[in-house]
Chain A
Amino acid sequence: MSLPELQQRDRSWHPPAFAPDYKSSTTRAPRQALLSLRGTASELTGPTFGHGDIDPLDNDLLRNYAHTGDPIGERIIVHGQVLDENARPVPHTLVEIWQANAGGRYRHKKDSYLAPVDPNFGGCGRVLTDADGCYAFRTVKPGAYPWRNGVNSWRPAHIHFSVFGTAFAQRLITQMYFEGDPLIALCPIVNAVPDARAIEQLIAALDMNASVPLDSIAYRFDIVLRGHRATYFENRPEGG
């Protein structure tokens, strides 16, 4: 079985494992060099998901945990396209998100921030991209919140994204930020990304064309997964 290989990951475009201004990384960053491994079937295959796995309401965070009404907060649509590095859409792939509520509080038993939980907001959603690789969520804009890095550190408003692709080695978790947020420039997690152009890739643009008048404003966030290598000529086997 010959599986298409992936382009090498450009590690300089990603944050390094050891980023001391983000203090948690110091004890959790491997210190040895990663071992380069040409993808095998174990990395070039990956799980797939279908409409039997999820429900139509799962991508509507205004409704998927509503008990007595809508959640509090600025109503937004977050949409975009999942592409690969060859600019090809990635269809039917699972996109999962999670976020704090409008006050910056997570619904998690380990979050103790003083802002209240919202009884009508769970804070997670999931969807499969369509045939063109497009996805959309409806939610509230998350609030900024303090965290114990410096004594007065605040995370910019963000939504966590998890995306699969078709190969397990394409697996990606990242965070989406919002255009215009002054906290982005102050954040050590953001600034662990070495290249300013790469940081821009994490900031969703206000997208008035996708806004719903008198209802919700929209942000567009496209996501790029690793692409497959071109294989015009087969490699000779090692030693062959």
Chain B
Amino acid sequence: MYYNESKLTELVLIMNKREIVKEKTRDLILKTAKEIFSHNGFLTTNTLSIARECGIAHGTLFLHFKNKETLISTIFKNELIRIANELYRITEESKNMENLLDSYLLFLENDESFFVITAKEFPFYPEKLKNEILNVEVIIRNFFYRMIEDGINAGIYKELDITDTIAFLFGTINYYLTHKELIVFDGSVINSKKESIKSIFYKLLQE
């Protein structure tokens, strides 16, 4: 025995503390990176400026994320978990398209600068990153797909091509995000357009 019980307890506590510090650093990197990406975009931001803003060594950043792509794809995955849990809850509890669309638009509005810049830069992302982001969108779109499918089966919505209908909705949202500066002088483009997005989309489903 190299350690008596109190030594062991001490060791466990030190290890836990290390884990906590590691977790906190990881969270700080993610939060800071998201803020910087939201202002300056992903393409022109380098990992050194993120590390500096965090007050950590450049090398420390790579202990947590192997490169800039991993960093942004982790941000997207975290965002996905947040919105998917909310959309799942709505699907289970209310089965209400209005709540689903409201919740998704609010999610975009609350982090609009981040989604605006990623919508603009998306065509220039490396293919692997593009695929990872598309996969996030597959899961989000699936909530809408299922809700429309259920509505058609229940006779609430007319028979329509669900894939095209969803593409129409997400394409419109993407257009507003990509061309935000052309549409609103300041403030949120999603906020200014959400009522028309919603009313046109419901009409499309029902008429």
Our verdict on whether A and B bind, yes or no, reads no
Binding site for B on A (CB under 8 A): none
